[in-house]
Structure 1
């Protein structure tokens, strides 16, 4: 086992129940560190970490830094933590080192062969696919993912295989803390302009990330994505090895897509790799998911896994929570939940949902995420959502942003054409409306990165209630 950095031996994590923070805490505990933290409320992640030995307080207070004798060796924060946070203020006053979440994760990567998966879309799914495929090959990787694997229910794990697989977040540029042996860039499309400011700045951060690849390491890019492919071309000019995947690729080490056959329970992609034709089965629907699987396949090959074993692992991949996650069935109505929150993601997922729906209609309950994204991409969201048969539009989930006058879910709803649209900000009313709209055979999906995920079970309960009364 690689030596744990001194700064992480007694770590206090602010917002420890979050997707990224809880994963770091889980790995720290597995490696023998003392872990304390705080969060705003109880959650499944908080309860799980407590059961593993973490000392976690509810609410933010300087007193929380006294969980262990001698105080923490470091305070770990995310970009979302404001400078006025009482724990951060106390840490600075006491001279306790403050680490960004990505810096802490980089510390845990030391001594491993590291694979980092980046891109505007598909990071979580691709990271998860690679992890499950490597596990199938008995390589026991450590991993840190922005979502829970359906197989294990976990978002992180300390493995003994000497490999570390991590989702690399570009939203705040923090992925520049990593120095991977294998870097994957699934695609590059404007997003997170609230942080980066301009499209040019957002694109440039990916070039900086690629420059962090270790000497002799590998870049894997989607050859069908123009911006990602250009990134690969520039990397090759700088002497970096580059493998590509997609329909347009031509290299010997590239995974060329020959055909994709969709199915209600996933699909099969036929590829040419190293002169052989191979069928890769993916148990999640959509050609975009098949492309993610090919990115995972190439990264896994570079990490020493056999192609056949990786393909078997990908076929067994059961998905990630909140990535077209099946929530239940009420009569002949199926309900799913999905994290898509960018127009390209919404469009790709709705195309996949259409296949899964068969002859039934597709009803989407959509919650825009962040005011800046809603304002910038309202037209594109409207076009993407027009792929559904009927849309229930919720209001904006602001996340870290303050409300902006005139920016609501109606900004998107009023631009959707060709399908029925219902703008309904109230969750309880939206639940009843969804139950009113669905018909036998329909597929309903709740979609967005906010708390819209709560609605799936509520809609199912309402449908069951009506069925019992009827």
Structure 2
């Protein structure tokens, strides 16, 4: 394949994906002609179109732009989520156009930079967003490719320079093994994506392989309970990067931080939950390893506003709190419950949850039931299939039967707003990684009317 500098036209098949769109923005910034296809228009694709990227939502070769006719300087980027039956993808394959998976392109783009890679089954997006913000706020020459929309930038792409890159190292399809990290972290290493890996031992092996991409283990951070041989991170436990004296003041965390490089006092961080605090410690450690000025980091951390759909307050008033969150694994649900219980210990809590993937629901059925049973009231949407076909015997009805909460039920997206309004719970959570997020606006509109 030609070098990226010799490519003029880039076509993204699945451009509306959160990782794909960040790369599309980068390529546009490099002066490339950027086009794309996705099956559904979203707020993200609307934003890309406003930025001058032409997108089609029809899977027809006739919809391809004329610029694609010169295939010699064209690169097609795609993700494993695109079905092999996709007509546009098939056309490019048969035409012999240069093609590359998203992860491979990310690896090439970041190869000759100081690459900071954030891996883990949970916490990647928040940690990389905090890290990207810390570096940008400290005037470091950073480009960050994020897996969510950072509130400070209203974007999944931060560009303050090109010498340093921040990337999410995605374990799905072993994509993270195509990266070239100089500094890295593994935030967590739970069993997930068993449809790809088969068993938990295989995913652990992949994370060990990723960690070995970092030649100097002092440049690798991970929780104390994840044995990878690098520097450890913990809250109120002995570690290389250790948060101490953690307390809540005016609804935000205040804590001290011991690191191999320095000590900080009275750091402030506004995202709820110990999992987010651990993400912040990890991001601070990586920022220090990248050479961030220590005197600027406290102010940078305090100014971080969060990531959309990561414990995002949509309504916060005396009689009602509505929180929107992306959690889709039992470990994430447990972390979410810990955060909401810490912030609202006296209030009843309703969760509206959309299970994501038939295989994940099957593989962690008992764990999901246990996590959801912590909430006072549970409403389940049908399983969001994403890339999967239904699996016999796997359903929200079956999961609901295993949940021990006294108040529980099945709902549809159309009935979400009404069902939530009937609940007496002051704290209400809208949770899942499928299309449930698209319903949040409807719920909020009804609740504030």
| TM-score (normalised: structure 2) | 0.93
Q: Which residue of the partner structure matches residue 86 of structure 1?
A: 87
Equivalent positions of 1:376-391 (< 5 A) are 376-391=363-378
The alpha-carbon distance between structure 1 residues 266 and 341, as it changes in their structure 2 partners (threshold 3 A), is farther
Of 457, 461, 467, the match for 2:441: 457
8 Å CA contact 2:352, 2:378 repeated in 1: yes
Q: Does 1:401 align with 2:402?
A: no
Deviations 1:129-161 (Å, cap 9, x if unpaired)? 101111111114101111000011100133315
Deviation at 1:400, TM superposition (A): 0.7
Deviation at 1:358, TM superposition (A): 4.5
Deviation at 1:455, TM superposition (A): 3.5
What runs of 5+ residues in structure 2 fail to find an aligned partner?
A: none
* 1:317 partner SS: coil
| Cα distance between partner residues in 2 of 1:9 and 1:264 | 51
Give the stretch that moved more between structures: 97-106 or 83-92: 83-92
The alpha-carbon distance between structure 1 residues 161 and 107, as it changes in their structure 2 partners (threshold 3 A), is closer
Deviations 1:104-127 (Å, cap 9, x if unpaired)? 112221331100100011000000
8 Å CA contact 2:188, 2:223 repeated in 1: yes
| Cα distance between partner residues in 2 of 1:209 and 1:19 | 22
Q: Does 1:348 align with 2:335?
A: yes
* 1:414 partner SS: helix
Equivalent positions of 1:126-165 (< 5 A) are 126-165=127-166
8 Å CA contact 1:327, 1:457 repeated in 2: no
Q: Which residue of the partner structure matches residue 54 of structure 1?
A: 53
The alpha-carbon distance between structure 1 residues 376 and 350, as it changes in their structure 2 partners (threshold 3 A), is same
After the TM superposition, which segments of 4 or more aligned residues of structure 1 sit over 6 Å from their partners?
Answer: none
8 Å CA contact 1:6, 1:73 repeated in 2: no
| Cα distance between partner residues in 2 of 1:104 and 1:65 | 21
8 Å CA contact 2:259, 2:285 repeated in 1: no
Give the stretch that moved more between structures: 28-37 or 262-271: 262-271
Deviation at 1:51, TM superposition (A): 2.6
Q: Which residue of the partner structure matches residue 205 of structure 2?
A: 204
8 Å CA contact 1:31, 1:158 repeated in 2: no
Q: Which residue of the partner structure matches residue 182 of structure 1?
A: 183
The alpha-carbon distance between structure 1 residues 84 and 296, as it changes in their structure 2 partners (threshold 3 A), is same
8 Å CA contact 1:413, 1:421 repeated in 2: no
Deviation at 1:199, TM superposition (A): 1.0
The alpha-carbon distance between structure 1 residues 317 and 277, as it changes in their structure 2 partners (threshold 3 A), is closer
Q: Which residue of the partner structure matches residue 70 of structure 1?
A: 70
Deviations 1:20-60 (Å, cap 9, x if unpaired)? 11111001001111111111132222222223232222212
Q: Does 1:287 align with 2:266?
A: no
Count of equivalent residues: 445
Deviation at 1:411, TM superposition (A): 2.4
Q: Which residue of the partner structure matches residue 244 of structure 1?
A: 232
8 Å CA contact 2:242, 2:281 repeated in 1: no
Q: Which residue of the partner structure matches residue 319 of structure 1?
A: 306
Q: Which residue of the partner structure matches residue 255 of structure 2?
A: 269
* 2:255 partner SS: strand
8 Å CA contact 1:141, 1:158 repeated in 2: yes
Q: Which residue of the partner structure matches residue 411 of structure 1?
A: 398
8 Å CA contact 1:26, 1:156 repeated in 2: yes
8 Å CA contact 1:264, 1:356 repeated in 2: no
Of 420, 424, 427, the match for 1:443: 427
| Cα distance between partner residues in 2 of 1:217 and 1:164 | 19
* 1:173 partner SS: helix
Deviations 1:152-181 (Å, cap 9, x if unpaired)? 110013331511001111021111110111
| Cα distance between partner residues in 1 of 2:169 and 2:255 | 26
Q: Which residue of the partner structure matches residue 335 of structure 1?
A: 322
8 Å CA contact 2:176, 2:210 repeated in 1: yes
